[in-house]
Structure 1
Amino acid sequence: MSLRDLSVLYLLAGLACAVAVYRASRDRGDARRRAALSAALCVPLWPIWAPVALTAGRGAASDRPDGDAGTAAARVQGALREGVSACAGTSFEALLSREAAARIEAEVARAAARHAELDALLRQSGFDEAAAAARVAEIERGGAGGRALATAHLHLENIRRLRAMRDRDARALEELADLVQALRTQLVLARFAGSSVEGVGGIVSEVWARVEGLGAAIDAHGGAGSEGPIAT
């Protein structure tokens, strides 16, 4: 095979990698210009740049808390329905009625929806924490100060606050799912073993405390996008 043939094959491989990199960048929410630049770099440098560009989103994904809010919400829903079924027609029915379970499910759905909204927002290139931090460092290195630096710092802090809210919601939903599953198990045990109402009541009280905490957090912030205007 001649050098010309090798060059053609190298170019074709670079073009194929460029297409893959562009699509992956757009799927991650990168701006069109940024995705195009990354793809253009891939044509001559594909053996080096393609692996970096194609795995760039994995680090961001690993920063998210373990578990998925949607999965946690589904766990809560399933455990609640089994718990309601277990205590139906028993002395525990007043502790977890169908109406109470429906209210818990509604609050969990609100929290899961807010988490999904925040997560989608933070996937966008304009909410990239690393890029915001790099911008702050760039301004500081350039010696600029005053309003430009303050604005860059504010942007970075806003992103960090949004990430903290998203992560807090995910942890709260996971913990609530574990607690509701424990409640379900306790109700089944109480039904067949005749456990005391006090033992079940303690878990129910804890579940309600967690649910009210979720609702209070959502109401306090008014959802993901209504914390008021950002100061500049």
Structure 2
Amino acid sequence: MSLRDLSVLYLIAGLACAVAVYRASRHDGHGARRRAALSAALCVPLWPIWAPVALTARRAEPGGAPGTAAAAARVQGALREGVSACAGTSFEALLSREAAARIEAEVTRAAARHAELDALLRQGGFDEAAAAARVAEIERGGAGSGRALATAHLHLDNIRRLRAMRDRDARALEELADLVQALRTQLVLARFAGSSVEGVGGIVSEVWARVEGLGAAIDAHGACSGEPIET
């Protein structure tokens, strides 16, 4: 392969990394879009160095979808290890393969909902700072702006509710991941130490309570998803 061919491949890889970095960056506001474009531009000549840095920084953002995906992966991994630990023992009825599959399905649904909310809130029309600035601008306008002010407040409240839902989903998944990992270690301990079924049953019940809470939130979201949020 000639130097020219290698240069073309390097450029193609740089452009692909630039697209990935730009799509993974925040776009909620002019400053964020400018930073995303600059980060993407740096990827073209420096993709072997810059792309891992930019993408890792995106994953570290609080409330971001990649962190939720990691929590879902932790749940799935711990469940599979837990199922293996109690297979063929008296604990098998507490965490069967079917039960683990159901939990995994609910976690996958919750992670998908969180990703959807996260992507939505990164759009320009859902910028909380801009919405708050609009409320302040109308308030400074004085008389005759009552209806406009009410609409602006409603828009801001809707954004804040959506952000609260997104953050609540992220916390719920992180807490469930910690709980399932604790369940896995307790099942392993019970198998080798001969602990009672009752001792494991408590944490299993807590896991199911968290899973049912996730499912109820998702079902409520699905029932309302056909209705636009009033703004």
TM-score, normalised by the number of residues in structure 2: 0.72
CA RMSD, 1 decimal: 8.0
- Whether contact under 8 Å (2:63, 2:166) holds in the other structure is no
- Whether contact under 8 Å (2:106, 2:211) holds in the other structure is yes
SS in 2 for 1:75: helix
Cα-to-partner distance string for 1:132-191 (whole Å, 9 max, x where unaligned): 000000011112552211111110000000000000000000000000000000000011
- CA positional deviation for 1:28: 5.3
CA distance in 2, matches of 1:44, 1:195: 59
Cα-to-partner distance string for 1:200-226 (whole Å, 9 max, x where unaligned): 010100000000000001111217844
Alpha-carbon spacing, 1:194–1:31, altered in 2? closer, same or farther (3 Å): closer
CA distance in 1, matches of 2:99, 2:169: 21
User: Is the aligned partner of 1:52 residue 2:53?
Assistant: yes
- Whether contact under 8 Å (1:117, 1:224) holds in the other structure is no
CA distance in 2, matches of 1:77, 1:165: 23
- Whether contact under 8 Å (1:69, 1:170) holds in the other structure is no
Q: How many residues align?
A: 224
- CA positional deviation for 1:24: 10
CA distance in 1, matches of 2:211, 2:119: 24
Alpha-carbon spacing, 1:149–1:188, altered in 2? closer, same or farther (3 Å): same
- Which piece of structure 1 moves more, 218-227 or 91-100? 218-227
Structure 2: tracts of 5 or more residues without a match = none
Cα-to-partner distance string for 1:15-50 (whole Å, 9 max, x where unaligned): 999999999998557899999999999999999999
SS in 2 for 1:39: helix
- Whether contact under 8 Å (1:11, 1:43) holds in the other structure is yes
CA distance in 1, matches of 2:212, 2:189: 26
- Whether contact under 8 Å (2:72, 2:107) holds in the other structure is yes
Q: What is the identity percentage for the equivalent residue pairs of Structure 1 and Structure 2?
A: 93
SS in 1 for 2:25: helix
- CA positional deviation for 1:114: 0.2
SS in 2 for 1:27: coil
Cα-to-partner distance string for 1:47-98 (whole Å, 9 max, x where unaligned): 9999999999xxxxxxx64686655100000000000000000000000000
SS in 1 for 2:230: coil
Alpha-carbon spacing, 1:142–1:197, altered in 2? closer, same or farther (3 Å): same
SS in 1 for 2:92: coil
Describe how 1:27-176 pairs up with structure 2 within 5 A: 65=62, 71=68, 72-145=71-144, 146-176=146-176
- Whether contact under 8 Å (2:83, 2:95) holds in the other structure is yes
Where does structure 1 differ by over 3 angstroms across 4 or more consecutive aligned residues? Answer: 1-56, 64-71, 223-227, 229-232
SS in 2 for 1:226: coil
Cα-to-partner distance string for 1:113-140 (whole Å, 9 max, x where unaligned): 0000000000111100000000000011
- Whether contact under 8 Å (1:65, 1:170) holds in the other structure is no
SS in 1 for 2:26: helix
CA distance in 2, matches of 1:10, 1:207: 48
Alpha-carbon spacing, 1:38–1:125, altered in 2? closer, same or farther (3 Å): farther
Structure possessing the higher radius of gyration over alpha carbons: 1
CA distance in 1, matches of 2:151, 2:84: 55
